[in-house]
Structure 1
Amino acid sequence: MQFHKPLQTAKLIQRYKRFLADVTTNSGNTFTIHCPNTGAMTGCAEPGYQVWFSESENLKRKYCYTWELARTFCDDFICVNTLRANQLAGDILSDGLIAELADLQELRAEVKYGSQGSRVDWHGLDNKRECFIEVKSVTLKDPDNSTGYFPDARSKRAGKHLQELMEVAAQGHRAVVLYVVMHTGITSVQSAAQVDPDYAQLCIEAAAKGVEFYAYKCAISPEGISPQQQIKVTT
């Protein structure tokens, strides 16, 4: 996935009110950009980080710039725009990069499913058996090693998705959680019991009931983001 237009860059002053971030350019121009990430963004939004942002062509937007990337003081790149994870997941699935999912056909995004009326991120067919895939963006990194965690804040929504995946697995369908790793310093993924113990417990239950867990690490640069390699997941 290449960015359609070259990204612009600045230094982060602060992220606040979840959806806003103040930045300053080398020339001293200070302004506010939109932050498309509802999570805690722990370790992803430190003042002084270099950030990259895209410009919207929608003239009606209040904030025309969207925060896309950050670079840590250790030179790791992070994609903070969670919408990109679904796009990358589409590339991973359509290119058959995960062997266990390589035979999926008729991939479709945002398909309604489950008893709670959710929309699954991706849906496909595996020898006429339905496969439901929930995509999660992973950016929370352990400061002492290369372990990545999900979620980075308590998430009832993520727990709801696991419950719905368990339901479809019980019906004989395939149910999958795909962690798209959007932090170049992460080399393995596990559920964040220290952040959301309820989600971590649900992961254990889901794995026991047939829900499949996979993680794929991405290469990230201001030019674009691309799938890099499959990495280990611990539920």
Structure 2
Amino acid sequence: MKFATPLIPGKLIQRYKRFLADVLTAGGVTVTATCPNTGSMLGLTTPGSTVWLSESDSPTRKYRHTWEMIENDLGTGPHLVGINTGKPNALVAEAIGLKVIPELAGYASLRREVRYGDENSRIDLLLSESKDPRPCYVEIKNVHLMRQAGLAEFPDCKTERGAKHLRELSSMVAQGNRAVMVFLVQRGDAETFRLASDLDPAYATAFQAAVAAGVEMLCYGCRLSPSEIIVDRRIEMTDLA
């Protein structure tokens, strides 16, 4: 996925009110950017960090800039981390089309944000029309937490909504469908993945229940630059019990 224009570098001044961040751009101008991330962003909000912003020319937007990436160094050198949780759905859809995710290949139809379930929810991706007669319900989570070099983790805070999604996927399997959770790591330095059970034990419990119910779990990583993000590899999932 290429950005419409190259991202703008700057230094983070502060993140506040969850959805806003002040950034000093390389041009010496302080701007307020939208922060498209509802999580805690643990370890990724240190003032002075190098960040990367996209810019919109839409006249209806209150804030022209959107915070897309931050540089993070856990002792192996700085690596770009994608914090925009609005990107993973499109990234995974693109990767499926490019046959980068073989576990989700072979479907002729891909639809996004389709209503399903008993709670009027929307599934991130619905795949259908394949040799497998079952439709495939795909939920996608953005992963950016890393507390130990090379080890990506999810979630970065308590997420009741995330546990709900796991229960909904389990329900789809019970109805005879296929259901897959994709953890998309927007970090180039990730080698393995595990659940951050200490940050949200309830999510870990819901995860195990979903696995027992037949929900498939996948983790893929990305290569990032200020001009594009590319899903490029499967990542081993470990310590999930």
Q: What secondary structure does 1:222 align onto?
A: coil
Q: What secondary structure does 2:91 align onto?
A: helix
In the TM superposition, what is the alpha-carbon distance from 1:60 to its structure 2 partner? 2.0
Q: Which stretches of structure 1, 4 residues or longer, exceed 3 Å deviation after superposition?
A: none
Is 2:35–2:84's contact at 8 Å kept on the other side of the alignment? yes
Among 130, 134, 139, the residue aligned to 2:135: 130
Greater CA deviation, 131-140 or 146-155?
146-155
Is 1:141–1:185's contact at 8 Å kept on the other side of the alignment? no
Deviations 1:65-86 (A, max 9, x none): 1111111243110111111111
Is 1:94–1:107's contact at 8 Å kept on the other side of the alignment? no
What is residue 110 of structure 1 aligned with on the other side?
A: 113
CA distance in 1, matches of 2:189, 2:43: 12
CA distance in 1, matches of 2:90, 2:127: 15
Amino acid at match of 1:162: L
Matched ranges for 1:204-219 at <5 A: 204-219=208-223
Q: What secondary structure does 1:200 align onto?
A: helix
Greater CA deviation, 127-136 or 69-78?
69-78
Matched ranges for 1:20-169 at <5 A: 20-73=20-73, 74-125=77-128, 126=130, 127-142=132-147, 144-169=148-173
In the TM superposition, what is the alpha-carbon distance from 1:44 to its structure 2 partner? 1.8
In the TM superposition, what is the alpha-carbon distance from 1:27 to its structure 2 partner? 4.4
TM-score computed with the length of structure 2 as normaliser:
0.93
Is 2:100–2:232's contact at 8 Å kept on the other side of the alignment? no
Q: Cα RMSD (Å) of the superposition?
A: 1.3
Q: Any stretches of 5+ residues in structure 1 without a counterpart?
A: none
Amino acid at match of 1:135: I
Number of positions where the alignment pairs a residue of Structure 1 with one of Structure 2:
234
TM-score computed with the length of structure 1 as normaliser:
0.95
Q: What secondary structure does 1:161 align onto?
A: helix
Q: Any stretches of 5+ residues in structure 2 without a counterpart?
A: none
